[in-house]
Amino acid sequence: MVDTILLDGCIRAPRRAFVFLVTLIAAAGSGSSIAAASDASGPRWSYAGESGPAHWGDLDAANETCVKGLSQSPVDLAQTQPAAFTPLSFQYRSQRLEAVNNGHGVHVLSPPGSALLVRGDAYDLEEFNFHVPGEHGFNGVTAEAEIHLVHRDRQGGYVIVAVPVRAGERENRILSRILEYLPMRGGEQVRHRQVGINPIFLLPTDHSYFRYVGSLVTPPCTEPVLWFVMKEALEVSPWQIQRIAQAVGANARPLQPLNGRPVFSLFRQ
């Protein structure tokens, strides 16, 4: 049974894939207008024009960090420092599907019970969301999409795992299950009691990653946020990327300066 509730408020894409992605975003006109809608809790912001990323700090004093912060995300992962590999232990549980389109993107909510363990420290999974195109750069090139798995620690600090997504011949079954019931309009929330998902299947096989300290990628651009960006992309079908693009439009923040921050590469040998 589906409950629909209206709320108030490595990785180098070939040229044909890039053209394909541009076509998708252009075709997702309704998604782009959705992304320009405002949250009920604050002033309007978007990913283009006078309310776009360059102006986020001017829209609300609470967004000052978007302009003045020195540790903003996303970044280009071009120059990195090798570090000893520390495994990321994903202790994710199966859950019922609950997703909301807040007008800036689609967020799949996660109930208590799933966590990321790093050196014995637990970070609870709160949600995961989608960005088209990918936000982080790999020597200046972004993936066709990106999934962000958002965690919080006991002190309320953010820890985010970013998974680049590329189009290929393989269709991801769990992603297909999510996309079948994806809320396509801003303000729409869907709960499906009979659809089970597990975000563990949205991770690549190789858990090598980049690590750096950054920020949230949407207003108020809170700092600091600990980022783990997966080295390997998740392969999905072109149809799956198209479906995401139709729901979220173009919702990637431009790359931000590193300002001297180190980026570490922790690769499994």
**Domain ranges across the chain:** 2-266
Q: Which residues of 55-82 are buried (b: 16+ CB within 10 A; e: fewer)?
A: ebbebeeebebbeebebbbbbbbeeeee
pLDDT of residue 19: 35
Strands 2-6 and 188-197: antiparallel
pLDDT of residue 191: 95
pTM: 0.85
Query: Residues with catalytic annotation?
Result: 104
Residues 6+ apart with CB under 8 A from 106: 99, 100, 129, 130, 182, 183, 244, 247, 248
For the cut 50, the answer to whether the pLDDT of residue 39 exceeds it is: no
Please report which confidence band the pLDDT of residue 120 belongs to, taking 50, 70 and 90 as the band edges: confident
For 123, the enclosing helix (H) or strand (E) is strand 121-131
Please report which confidence band the pLDDT of residue 30 belongs to, taking 50, 70 and 90 as the band edges: very low
Identify the bridge partners of residue 158 per DSSP, sorted by sequence position. 152, 225
Counts of helices then strands in the chain (DSSP H, E): 6, 16
Tell me, rounded to whole angstroms, the distance of Cα 46 from its chain centroid. 16
Evaluated on CA atoms 4, 39, 125, 21, the torsion sign reads positive
**Range 2-266: architecture per CATH:** Roll (3.10)
